[in-house]
Amino acid sequence: MKKILTLLTVVIISLTILHGCETEKKELINLAIVKEKLKEYHTGGKYNTDLNRIIKKAITEFSKITPKENSLVIFDIDETALSNYQFALDYDFGYNEEIWTEWVDSKKATAISEVKILYDMLIEKGFKVVFLTGRNRSHYDATKENLINEGYTKFDTLITRKMDALKTTAVDYKSKERKQLVENGYIIVGTIGDQLSDLEGPYHGIQVKLPNYYYIVK
């Protein structure tokens, strides 16, 4: 009887371990497959469908507001105003500072057309626009030129990360800059970004969260 119980225990433990392995197998997806799924999402129309739905809702929201002289909408840049999808493809969704700087300096990021529609509507209606990006101060000139080349020609300020803000989190850095804008007399009525860290913290107004399944900025 004791032997049978011992054998039974071994069988149960083995089955539990095997079940654990099976569960683990089911939960993990090979990175190569994830990358293919991301490409399918981007080029297969789903990304644009998601963007259209979000931007349409944002336009409805902003249409309800009559802007004052100092009413401001803040736009993030990467994967918000501009797309770096080609960079992601070129480097197989990889990243390091050196290749990123090369890409920024090339000014090849393209306007995200759905976001540009919202931007045009806001400018037309009389809202002020500020671009607030996590890009470093050393990327300021190339970023400004890239924005203008892609049709974002009217904005009050482009804010890039200064040296002293390089080690702070995106939420802290962006919140601090928004606070400064409010102290400078702006009324922030909305913030557009692809990261939650673009939208969290004080003084954001209407929050417009765009899709980004490629990376997370904290």
Give the interface with Mg ion as residue ranges (CB under 5 A). Answer: 76, 78-80, 194
How near is the Cβ of 210 to Mg ion at its closest, in Å? 8
Nearer to Mg ion, 150 or 194 (CB): 194
Nearer to Mg ion, 125 or 212 (CB): 212
How near is the Cβ of 84 to Mg ion at its closest, in Å? 9
Nearer to Mg ion, 127 or 198 (CB): 198
Task: Match 């090979």 to its residue by tokens.
Answer: 30
CA distance 143 to 104: 7
How near is the Cβ of 104 to Mg ion at its closest, in Å? 13
CA 38 to chain centroid, in Å, comes to 15
How near is the Cβ of 150 to Mg ion at its closest, in Å? 15
How near is the Cβ of 79 to Mg ion at its closest, in Å? 5
Nearer to Mg ion, 125 or 144 (CB): 144
Nearer to Mg ion, 80 or 175 (CB): 80
End-to-end Cα distance, the chain: 58
Nearer to Mg ion, 71 or 195 (CB): 195
Using Cβ positions, the residue closest to Mg ion within the complex turns out to be: 78
* Strand 128-136 relative to strand 157-161, pairing: parallel
How near is the Cβ of 80 to Mg ion at its closest, in Å? 5
